[in-house]
Structure 1
Amino acid sequence: MPAAEFTSYYGRPVLKPPVWTWEIAAYLFTGGLAAGSSVLAAGAQVTGRPALRRVGRVAALAGVVASGVLLVADLGRPARFHHMLRVVKPTSPMSVGTWILSVFGPAAGVAAVAEVVPWLPDRGVSGVGRRVVPPVGHAAGWVAAVTAPALATYTGVLLADTAVPSWHEAYPELPVIFAGSALASGAGVGLVAAPSGESGPARRMAVAGAALELVGAHRVETRLGLLSEPYRSGVAGRLLRAARVLTVLGAVGAVAGRRSRVVSVVSGVALLAASVATRFGVFHAGVVSARDPRYTVVPQRQRLARRVAGAGSGS
């Protein structure tokens, strides 16, 4: 007898596929970009690199503003975001994420404005003017940087908290992937926009982010059994393969391009493109796994069979 092919009731999905549109996939990227840029700015502050710090803080504000626009666009009605602030629910990644954005956004805004507003110059002994950032700007930058890791990873927790099979099963890896992608994209901004002489922290962050992202992506493509298929095939597979190539090129270029402005810019663009491809690839993989009932039912049967076998061996 030939092996039976899996079918569901009238071929319909067991789960309702996510109703999220491309705005949410883009939101995953812009939120990570904001977080990574804020961490980059903090590193620049510690190491005394004002131009890199300014780039990071301005990019963080741009990323969080874009995130707000994309999130409201997906919600359909701006008032819905306001309604989410009526409660605090620690068990809900969406509720926690709303409050993370509410803390990070104003802090990133104050830090960026403090960087770009033409404050009176400080004339030292030499009489040479230089821009002075008020203490409130630095304090706000640190608030944003402390909040940034939560902003970078909560979206991975949010996806894994759904019933979408390939997202739910990847709950250990998605926050790692998103953290690495956030660091890589923030580093990409620094490599593109900051002077080469101040880009040391961005180069180190690019390597760290690339390592996290590549390790996490490899695990979701190999560890999940059947549920790894959506990450390897179709649109998601093509996007994630492109992301892997771009991430490697960006990290290698970040290390090799210390003395070349052109190489640094190309590396930064590659890292940003890789981050976009990663977020959209993960998004598409989840949608595919929800639409095909095989990814819901077959793993359930396998888990049931393991439990039965374990109970039988225990008795």
Structure 2
Amino acid sequence: MSGPDVTRDGVQGARPGRQAPTGAHAGRRRRRRGRGRGEQPMVPDAVFSSYYGKPVLNRPTWKALDIAGYLYLGGLAGASSLLAAGGQFTGRPGLAAPAKLGAAGAISLSLAALVHDLGRPARFLNMLRVFKPTSPMSVGSWLLVGYAPLNLAAAAAEVAGRYRLLGSAATAAAAVLGPAVATYTAVLLSDTAVPSWHEGYRQLPFVFAGSAATAASGLALVAAPAAEAGPARRMGVLGAALELAAFRAMKRHMGLAAEPLEQGGAHRLLRAAEALTAGGAALAVLSGRMRDRRLAVAAGAAWLTGSAALRFGVFHAGVASAEDPKYTVVPQRERLRARGR
């Protein structure tokens, strides 16, 4: 392929077989080229390449199914707690019951996926030895420890049909923690050095919040009676609007680090997520106007699937950005150049 040659250290050099000018002759050539155009650089701009082409960052060792599933199920659980509390306190038991059970099941599976990725349950317990407010991992671990028992208590009271007061209190407390559970994983990803996660730190929590709302609403539309599904439908439409708008804003502000979101398998997943989220919103609105249960179930399935596709797409894009060193080094150089260094 034609073009300038790049050395192992990433510096543009002369073509093979052509002797680079040296000494006074080189100086005269530079002076002739520079007449009338001001000073010219003595050394050409370096072309980027990493040391021996190796990645600057280690590839994340998290298992895709475990951690992307953990991200998805945590969002589903957190937003379902809000629907459970809303259904309970507005006299919609048909909405509250599946939301409670869904939240309990999702957070249990989320914790199982996390522990499976860690390898041993003791490693999760080791994260509870200290509480560090500046660490999203530490805060998130303690958040899960407080949140999961509340959901299990609320679901158990619902299934048993007893201890109503205890179940109501647990549902309300879980709803208070639900938004944090639904979004703290975005802060956790953004706190890493992985470019396509870190550069989206401003908008990614809003993307995950909208995605969690659509997932929980999708579960409710599938499981709740149509007559009681109004709050889920409205929350899902708002969540879809938030997710789509925040995701597009995130890509605009990420610069070069947004490229992995537009490439390969991550791009296909994220395009599918956008289509399913928007399509689910349209079906949900239509189901509300026509009072058609089949449309509601279709909307719920689209939202559940779209939310999962978003989390898996974001995960795979981050892994791809860590494997290519340009997403780490080039933005750093641009920031230094902007500061005048």
| Alignment gaps of 5+ in structure 2 | 5-11, 13-46
Shift of 1:155: 0.3
Q: Tell me the distance in 1 between the aligned counterparts of 2:237 and 2:161.
A: 34
- CA deviations on 1:254-301 (whole Å, 9 max, x unpaired) are 111020110000100000000000000110111111100010111011
Instruction: After the TM superposition, list the runs of 4 or more consecutive aligned residues in structure 1 that deviate by more than 4 angstroms.
Output: 1-5
Q: Tell me the distance in 1 between the aligned counterparts of 2:176 and 2:103.
A: 13
Name the structure 2 match of 1:168.
198
- CA deviations on 1:52-100 (whole Å, 9 max, x unpaired) are 0001000000001001110000000111111111111000000000011
- CA deviations on 1:184-214 (whole Å, 9 max, x unpaired) are 1000010000000000010011011101110
Work out whether residues 167 and 286 of structure 1, in 8 Å CA contact, stay in contact via their aligned partners in 2.
yes
Match of 1:278 among 291, 306, 310: 310
Name the structure 2 match of 1:128.
none
- RMSD, matched Cα: 1.3
Q: In the alignment, is residue 86 of structure 1 matched against residue 129 of structure 2?
A: yes
SS of residue paired to 2:274? helix
Q: Tell me the distance in 1 between the aligned counterparts of 2:285 and 2:145.
A: 35
Shift of 1:6: 3.2
Shift of 1:118: 4.1
Q: Tell me the distance in 2 between the aligned counterparts of 1:301 and 1:137.
A: 55
SS of residue paired to 1:308? coil
1:280-299 equivalence runs, <5 A = 280-299=312-331
Shift of 1:151: 0.4
Q: Tell me the distance in 1 between the aligned counterparts of 2:54 and 2:140.
A: 32
Name the structure 1 match of 2:228.
198
Name the structure 2 match of 1:129.
none
1:157-306 equivalence runs, <5 A = 157-258=187-288, 259-306=291-338
- Which region of structure 1 is more displaced relative to structure 2, 187-196 or 217-226? 217-226
Q: Tell me the distance in 2 between the aligned counterparts of 1:197 and 1:43.
A: 15
Name the structure 1 match of 2:39.
none
Q: Tell me the distance in 1 between the aligned counterparts of 2:48 and 2:128.
A: 44
Q: Tell me the distance in 2 between the aligned counterparts of 1:25 and 1:201.
A: 27
Q: Tell me the distance in 2 between the aligned counterparts of 1:212 and 1:18.
A: 28
* Sequence identity percentage: 55
Which amino acid is 2:118 matched to?
Answer: L
Which amino acid is 2:201 matched to?
Answer: Y
Work out whether residues 254 and 264 of structure 1, in 8 Å CA contact, stay in contact via their aligned partners in 2.
yes
Name the structure 2 match of 1:32.
75
- CA deviations on 1:14-50 (whole Å, 9 max, x unpaired) are 0111111120011000000101111111121232101
Shift of 1:221: 2.3
Work out whether residues 220 and 231 of structure 1, in 8 Å CA contact, stay in contact via their aligned partners in 2.
no
Q: Tell me the distance in 2 between the aligned counterparts of 1:21 and 1:174.
A: 21
Which amino acid is 1:13 matched to?
Answer: P
Q: Tell me the distance in 2 between the aligned counterparts of 1:306 and 1:93.
A: 30
Q: Tell me the distance in 2 between the aligned counterparts of 1:146 and 1:46.
A: 14
Which amino acid is 1:18 matched to?
Answer: P
CA radius of gyration, larger in: 2
Aligned length: 296
Q: In the alignment, is residue 53 of structure 1 matched against residue 96 of structure 2?
A: yes
Q: Tell me the distance in 2 between the aligned counterparts of 1:86 and 1:191.
A: 40
Work out whether residues 202 and 250 of structure 2, in 8 Å CA contact, stay in contact via their aligned partners in 1.
no
Name the structure 2 match of 1:313.
none
Work out whether residues 239 and 281 of structure 1, in 8 Å CA contact, stay in contact via their aligned partners in 2.
yes
Q: In the alignment, is residue 105 of structure 1 matched against residue 137 of structure 2?
A: no
Shift of 1:303: 0.5
Indicate the structure whose relative CO is greater, using CA pairs within 8 Å and at least 6 residues apart: 1
Q: In the alignment, is residue 7 of structure 1 matched against residue 39 of structure 2?
A: no
Q: Tell me the distance in 2 between the aligned counterparts of 1:56 and 1:165.
A: 35
- CA deviations on 1:77-129 (whole Å, 9 max, x unpaired) are 1111111111110000000000110111000000011111144xxxxxxxxxx
| Alignment gaps of 5+ in structure 1 | 120-132, 310-315
Q: Tell me the distance in 2 between the aligned counterparts of 1:15 and 1:82.
A: 28
Name the structure 2 match of 1:140.
170
Q: Tell me the distance in 2 between the aligned counterparts of 1:218 and 1:235.
A: 18
Shift of 1:235: 1.1
Name the structure 1 match of 2:61.
19
TM-score with structure 1 length normalisation?
Answer: 0.91
Q: In the alignment, is residue 116 of structure 1 matched against residue 159 of structure 2?
A: yes
